[in-house]
Amino acid sequence: MIQSIVPPYLLARIAQAGESAMPRAAAAAERALVSDIPLRDAREARSASPHTAPIRAVPSSPTAGTPHNLTRAPQPHRTVFDAKNSEDLPGTQVRVEGGPAPADAAANEAYDALGATFALYQEAFGRNSIDDKGLPLLATVHYGHDYDNAYWNGERMVFGDGEGEVFGRFTASVSVIGHELTHGVTQFTAGLAYEGQSGALNESFSDVMGALVEQHLKKQTAADASWLIGEGLFTAAVKGRALRSMLAPGTAYDDPVLGRDPQPADMAHYVETSDDNGGVHLNSGIPNRAFAIASTTLGGFAWLSAGQVWFDTITGPLSPTADFAEFAAATVTASTKRFGADSTETSAVSAAWAKVGVLRGDSAH
């Protein structure tokens, strides 16, 4: 299953509008759109068996000298490769778990963010890697020439370097790496179909966990967090903060070349479209905002409150074709089970979904 961080509608806009203002970016966006077609085809081919583990898991082992009934906490198993601006995967191995850091910022950023993602899932949710069985975390950097994207292909993370006019290197954003690896978590759990509302939920859950990876790494409370996905990807020439804003969908960028962020913030502005697999990157703004509202209402560290609810939901009895209403109801059920029906957590979750128009305020429970 292959999902990329930059939506096709944004690449199409850059390819069209940037021809005169940013010719290198326009050419790179056009190439990304063309090269991503076989990736999307491969994603569809793989989606028939979303729970299949493609890579052998590495089991945790007790630390030497540790009593047999006390096992060491799971540890990540990271390997980073360098494609050297080719499109051949995996590339040349440049860093392994516990090995020395090379003189390559992209390789080290990828390695560190893989670790930050592993840490969130292990420390906050007790999950051993993205498949909960110690799956090795693989990444390839310097993919393609001026490649304007990053993606999860069902086995590894792949990062382009950007073209330097609109996008810089895609390893620069921790939230992007957390987002893409979380597509793997969804692959091994709910297996949300990548189209329509279930696809938007797939994208949204990746944004949720991408934001939490960054917050967990920086020890940020919900109030202190930026709630931005892809902050740091744009160059200084772009009038924008990030690819998406979870707290305020539709406000992440407003630029002559990129246009204005088109994400809706509520169901009243839901976008009906056949593009982008039925608007998976567009309408994900609605459940994104519900999570951000619930988290900021509750305060404190979001991974301890709303994050627990969303994680319980994605790993619970959820239909692969769940729509927003089914997912929202499932979060209320998950919150009730974990925190209680009359808890502040359940009230905040219910109210957040009502705020974005998915649940009615008087029927959220």
Q: What is the pTM of this model?
A: 0.90
pLDDT computed for residue 365 by the predictor:
47
- Rounded Cα distance between 228 and 242, Å, is 6
pLDDT computed for residue 36 by the predictor:
60
Q: Two tokens at 260? A: 């204005």
Cβ neighbours for 14, distance < 8 A, ≥ 6 positions apart: 22, 25, 26, 29, 148, 166, 257, 258
Residue 281 among the catalytic residues: yes
Cβ neighbours for 252, distance < 8 A, ≥ 6 positions apart: 228, 229, 240, 241, 242, 243, 244, 245, 261, 263
- Over the chain, what is the mean pLDDT? 90
Is pLDDT at 46 greater than 70 in this prediction? Answer: no
For residue 35, name the pLDDT band (cuts at 50, 70, 90).
Answer: confident
Is pLDDT at 145 greater than 90 in this prediction? Answer: yes
pLDDT computed for residue 59 by the predictor:
39
Which own/partner pairs from 17-25 qualify as long-range (CB within 8 Å, at least 24 positions apart)?
17/256, 17/257, 17/258, 17/259, 18/165, 18/166, 18/257, 21/256, 21/257, 22/165, 22/166, 22/237, 22/257, 24/146, 24/163, 24/164, 24/165, 25/148, 25/163, 25/165, 25/166, 25/167, 25/257
pLDDT computed for residue 21 by the predictor:
80
236 versus 365: which is more confidently predicted? 236
pLDDT computed for residue 334 by the predictor:
98
pLDDT computed for residue 343 by the predictor:
98
For the segment 265-309, what is each residue's pLDDT rounded down to a tens digit? 999 999 999 999 999 999 999 999 999 999 999 999 999 999 999
**pLDDT over 70 percentage in the chain:** 88
Is pLDDT at 48 greater than 70 in this prediction? Answer: no
- Name the β-bridge partners of 159: 150
Is pLDDT at 361 greater than 50 in this prediction? Answer: yes
For the segment 317-335, what is each residue's pLDDT rounded down to a tens digit? 999 999 999 999 999 999 9
pLDDT computed for residue 196 by the predictor:
97
Domain at 3-355, CATH homologous superfamily: Neutral Protease Domain 2 (1.10.390.10)
Instruction: Pick the catalytic residue from 142, 183, 216, 281.
Output: 281
Cβ neighbours for 191, distance < 8 A, ≥ 6 positions apart: 50, 51, 320
DSSP string, 92-113: EEEEETTPPPPS-HHHHHHHHH
Instruction: Pick the catalytic residue from 180, 195, 203, 214.
Output: 180
For residue 72, name the pLDDT band (cuts at 50, 70, 90).
Answer: confident
pLDDT computed for residue 73 by the predictor:
86
For the segment 106-117, what is each residue's pLDDT rounded down to a tens digit? 999 999 999 999
Is pLDDT at 127 greater than 80 in this prediction? Answer: yes
- Rounded Cα distance between 163 and 233, Å, is 11
The mean per-residue pLDDT over the stretch 108-130 comes to 97
